[in-house]
Structure 1
Amino acid sequence: MPTNPVHGPDEPHKARGMAESFGTDPARYDRARPRYPDALVRRIAAAAPGGDVLDVGCGTGIAARQFRAAGCTVLGVDVDARMAAFARGRGLPVEVAGFEAWDAAGRTFDAVVAGQTWHWIDPATGAAKAADILRPGGRIALMWNVYRPADDLADAFAAAHRAALPDAPRTPWKRSAPDAYGAVFAKVVDSLRAAGSFGEPERWEVAWEQPYTRDAWLEHLTTSGEAALHTPRQAADLLARTGAVIDGLGGTFTMPYLTVAITAVRTGPAPS
């Protein structure tokens, strides 16, 4: 989902209530959230100098399990103990902490990755922390799944959103998701450059599609950060109106996605 600009589109990390709301139902989150293209995961793993990976904001372990399947050894760190417990239940080691304050205890990694979470990290502090724990030649790779609905579907979803939430300061469907994320991507690139420890950031992309039933999409909506801001009545109305849109499509639709990875290589001497 596009970042909700409660604190402006370039500083979503300050919206802590949203950032820490995802663990309400970890099983639902894990079930409803899309995975990342295997080709992109394998590309990131192959571009790192080794297989030791730190997954920042690992949540339920969606990306971590994919990197593990690609042959990596993955450690997760997440601020939410509920999400961490779910990931541990799937065999992933996870430490509970906000990344900015997390104690690496002298450990270093070949790759620092994040799936759909880096916008909740202070960009300057996060970039500096990643540089400190990456080995020379190590890679930071920050991924987002960005949806790209056709204009008619976006308009219909936007109308449902406005009807259910007439006082909302924005609708997530007003702009295309790539545009909505533009400020986030720019801030990430700027912070990696400013850290002075990375080569020039690159943008890797993979386009793909995900079919949804009515129920699957509505469940997906309940896992967004924005959902934490709705009253129960607002949430029920939004789901009913959005469901009616999908009913009008025959009960199913296909969402085009673009997965974007902002990635850079750690340069310079080994961390002290």
Structure 2
Amino acid sequence: MDAERYDRTRPRYPDALIHRIVGDGSPPAVLDVGCGTGIAARQLRAAGCSVLGVEPDGRMAELARRLGVETEVATVEEWDPAGRRFDAVVAGQAWHWVDPVAGAAKAARVLRPGGRLVAFWNVHEPPAPVADAFATAYREAAPDSPLAARATTTATTTATATEDAYRLILGKAADGIRRAGGFTEPEEWRLAWECTYTRDAWLDQLPTQGALTRLPAEAQSHVLAAVGRAVDAMGGSFTMRYVTVAVAAERRGEA
């Protein structure tokens, strides 16, 4: 993964989400699980929080550090908190890589009573011409890949159906929180927003997405060219609909 491209192109998170995490009191101390290059961490720092990142990929962690986020290299399951406590534990676009029970148990261990665990994801719905071009070109470039069928399905889904695809992820996260114990009943958050992309900006982001990272360079170029033509036909830019979905739970007070 190209860490600098990832940081440059990946979408940020809506201000409403950051405000909901921070709340109206004193800005919290936050542990950012799977912080990547520090996208969410920097948004939280801008809101006044102190943030420590934990990231298993050393390349991502190094860039996060260069961009001002204190980051330790580890999986959260094996990370040693060394007695540190936090007011919030967050995970942006990362909790599906974490063991849902072990991760929630570690969060419970480091959260102060009343602190929140919040795992969240950006769900995007490209306009039909862009999604269709991607799916068709992906099938042509990698007809035997199981991801080709997924790309076709994704291209034909509505925003609601795309969100539904995340319900399995949200459900696993919520179940892990329940099984770990020490938390209130998990709740789901949903925040809709939009972002406009130029052709070049979208083609810059696409190689950071899972389906394309697994393609050889020639096949990847075929997909990017097809998507580029579709965006050109739309006037060179388009508006992406996003929904940020989250599962959140509060750490119960000490017995």
TM-score where L is the length of structure 1 = 0.85
2:23 matched residue in structure 1:
46
The alpha carbon displacement at 1:164 in A equals: 2.4
C-alpha contact (below 8 Å) 1:48/1:139 kept by paired residues: no
Measured against aligned partners, the alpha-carbon deviations of 1:137-179 in whole angstroms (never above 9, x if no partner) come to 1100111110123445433432232222222213335144313
Unaligned residue ranges in structure 2 (runs of 5+): none
Q: Distance in 2 between matches of 1:167 and 1:243?
A: 23
C-alpha contact (below 8 Å) 1:48/1:138 kept by paired residues: no
Q: Distance in 2 between matches of 1:49 and 1:70?
A: 10
Q: Distance in 2 between matches of 1:223 and 1:80?
A: 15
C-alpha contact (below 8 Å) 1:49/1:137 kept by paired residues: no
1:252 matched residue in structure 2:
237
C-alpha contact (below 8 Å) 2:129/2:230 kept by paired residues: no
Q: Percent identity?
A: 55
Q: Distance in 2 between matches of 1:203 and 1:47?
A: 20
Q: Distance in 1 between matches of 2:108 and 2:42?
A: 24
1:166 equivalent to 2:143? Answer yes
Q: Distance in 2 between matches of 1:163 and 1:208?
A: 32
- The number of residues matched between the two structures is 247
1:222 equivalent to 2:169? Answer no
SS at match of 2:23: helix
1:239 aligns with one of 224, 227, 248: 224
1:116 aligns with one of 87, 93, 97: 93
2:185 matched residue in structure 1:
200
Using a 3 Å threshold, how does the CA distance of structure 1 residues 188 and 209 change in structure 2: closer, same or farther?
same
1:106 aligns with one of 83, 97, 101: 83
C-alpha contact (below 8 Å) 2:123/2:242 kept by paired residues: yes
C-alpha contact (below 8 Å) 1:157/1:242 kept by paired residues: yes
C-alpha contact (below 8 Å) 1:54/1:109 kept by paired residues: yes
Q: Report the AA paired with residue 68 of structure 2.
A: G
Q: Distance in 2 between matches of 1:245 and 1:256?
A: 17
Q: Report the AA paired with residue 102 of structure 1.
A: W
2:42 matched residue in structure 1:
65
Using a 3 Å threshold, how does the CA distance of structure 1 residues 226 and 48 change in structure 2: closer, same or farther?
farther
1:213 aligns with one of 188, 191, 198: 198
SS at match of 1:181: helix
1:180 equivalent to 2:134? Answer no
Q: Report the AA paired with residue 174 of structure 1.
A: T
Q: Distance in 1 between matches of 2:50 and 2:169?
A: 28
TM-score where L is the length of structure 2 = 0.91
Measured against aligned partners, the alpha-carbon deviations of 1:3-61 in whole angstroms (never above 9, x if no partner) come to xxxxxxxxxxxxxxxxxxxxx32211111000000111011111788611000111111
Of the structure 1 ranges 228-237 and 46-55, higher mean CA displacement relative to structure 2 is found in: 46-55
The alpha carbon displacement at 1:197 in A equals: 1.3
Unaligned residue ranges in structure 1 (runs of 5+): 1-23
1:7 matched residue in structure 2:
none
The alpha carbon displacement at 1:91 in A equals: 1.5
Q: Report the AA paired with residue 128 of structure 1.
A: A
C-alpha contact (below 8 Å) 1:149/1:255 kept by paired residues: yes
Q: Report the AA paired with residue 239 of structure 1.
A: L
Measured against aligned partners, the alpha-carbon deviations of 1:77-109 in whole angstroms (never above 9, x if no partner) come to 101111111111121111111111001111111
